[in-house]
């Protein structure tokens, strides 16, 4: 009997549903024992979010500063798993605080040590640099990254800003004003996600996980937007300055967070469109770089 561990953290329930769907082929296999572990905090973040709490999470999210988690059950700690399906959210272009907290814990290092891991993210659209940070943490835990699935909100960048914010602050997944598309990963993509589990299971049963990622890419597991890669990289540099400024000035934290709030609004609605135009103009001159980056980010 082989053991598979499904790890996830979800506030809205979206990523939990994705985790359950991708695990279905494993659950239907008689020779595999599947265990689910939900990462839980001693002091949970609110959902729906309020504005103050949402922005207050920024510095620690981006700087990957851990918080206290509830203990992992002994039954999980005492089991050697043959594969881990690791599901995570992206907060402020970094893995969420609960995910960072888990990956930096001694418990995670024990669970992940010398174990194949497949990462699955559910995000608005920018996950590239968060995945790079996940890679670093997995390497530090001596885990073996063998696959990656990145599920995103497929609507336009600016439209998804409106719909996701409404969802986070209301806690209700609905068509905002009755005219905007539903926020988050589409229901179609969620319902079709067991296809990724089927490919994973096949590679797992064949002891061929080292060749898994190209097969996942073939069925749409990772799609790269060169524009969003550029925005993600640029925003990471800017967020690095803002997060350090705020974190190192705790006395002025609230004031600085309000200034950051204004900056973020301007960056999204004024700077982002300009970046897109510049990207569109320069695109023909960067084809080699784009091709190279696409191949890299679609891999593991």
Tokens of 169: 């602050």
Q: Which two tokens stand for residue 82?
A: 């043959």
Domain covering 2-223 assigned CATH 3.40.50.360 in the classification = yes
CA distance 72 to 245: 34
Would you list the domain boundaries of the chain? Answer: 2-223, 228-298
In angstroms, rounded to a whole number, what is the distance separating the alpha carbons of residues 80 and 111? 7
Long-range contacts of the stretch 130-139 (C-beta < 8 A, 24+): 130/88, 130/90, 130/93, 130/94, 130/95, 131/297, 133/64, 133/94, 133/95, 134/88, 134/95, 134/99, 134/103, 135/300, 137/95, 137/100, 137/103, 137/104, 138/103, 138/112
Residue in 235, 227, 249 with CA at minimum distance from that of residue 294: 227
Confidence at residue 27, expressed as pLDDT on a 0 to 100 scale: 97
The pLDDT, as a whole number, for residue 285 is 87
Residue 82: per-residue pLDDT: 98
Residue 206 has a pLDDT of 95
Residue that the structure tokens 């089927």 belong to: 198
- For 223-241, write each residue's pLDDT tens digit: 999 999 999 999 999 999 9
Q: What is the dihedral of CA 88, 90, 96, 99, to 10 degrees?
A: 20
Residues of the chain under the 50 pLDDT cut: none
Give me the pLDDT at residue 157, please: 85
Paired tokens of 33? 């024992």
Q: What is the pLDDT of residue 207?
A: 94
Tokens for 57?
């999470």
Q: What is the pLDDT of residue 272?
A: 84
pTM for this structure?
A: 0.94
Amino acid 124: pLDDT:
93
């Amino acid at each position: 009997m082989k053991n598979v561990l499904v790890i996830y953290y979800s506030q809205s329930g979206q990523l939990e549903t994705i985790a359950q769907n991708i695990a279905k082929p494993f659950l239907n296999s008689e020779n595999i024992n599947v265990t689910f572990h939900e990462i839980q905090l001693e002091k949970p973040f609110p959902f729906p979010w309020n504005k103050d709490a949402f922005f207050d999470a920024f510095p620690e999210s981006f700087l990957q500063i851990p918080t206290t988690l509830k203990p992992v059950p002994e039954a999980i700690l005492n089991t050697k798993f043959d594969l881990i399906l690791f599901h995570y959210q992206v907060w402020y272009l970094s893995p969420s605080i609960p995910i960072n907290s888990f990956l930096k814990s001694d418990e995670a290092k024990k669970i992940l040590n010398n174990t194949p891991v497949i990462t699955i993210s559910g995000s608005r659209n920018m996950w590239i640099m968060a995945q790079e940070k996940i890679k670093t943490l997995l390497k530090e835990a001596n885990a073996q990254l063998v696959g990656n699935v990145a599920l995103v909100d497929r609507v336009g960048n600016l439209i998804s800003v409106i719909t996701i914010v409404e969802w986070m602050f209301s806690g209700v997944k609905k068509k905002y004003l009755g005219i905007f598309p539903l926020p988050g990963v589409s229901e179609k993509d969620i319902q079709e996600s067991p296809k990724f589990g089927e490919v994973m299971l096949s590679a797992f049963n064949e002891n061929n996980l080292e060749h898994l990622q190209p097969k996942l890419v073939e069925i749409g597991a990772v799609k790269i937007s060169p524009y969003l890669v550029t925005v993600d990289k640029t925003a990471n540099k800017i967020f690095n300055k803002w997060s350090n400024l705020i974190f190192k000035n705790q006395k002025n934290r609230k004031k600085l967070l309000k200034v950051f709030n204004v900056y973020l609004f301007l960056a999204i609605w004024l700077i982002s469109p300009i970046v897109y135009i510049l990207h569109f103009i320069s695109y023909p001159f960067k084809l080699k770089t784009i091709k190279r980056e696409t191949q890299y980010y679609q891999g593991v």
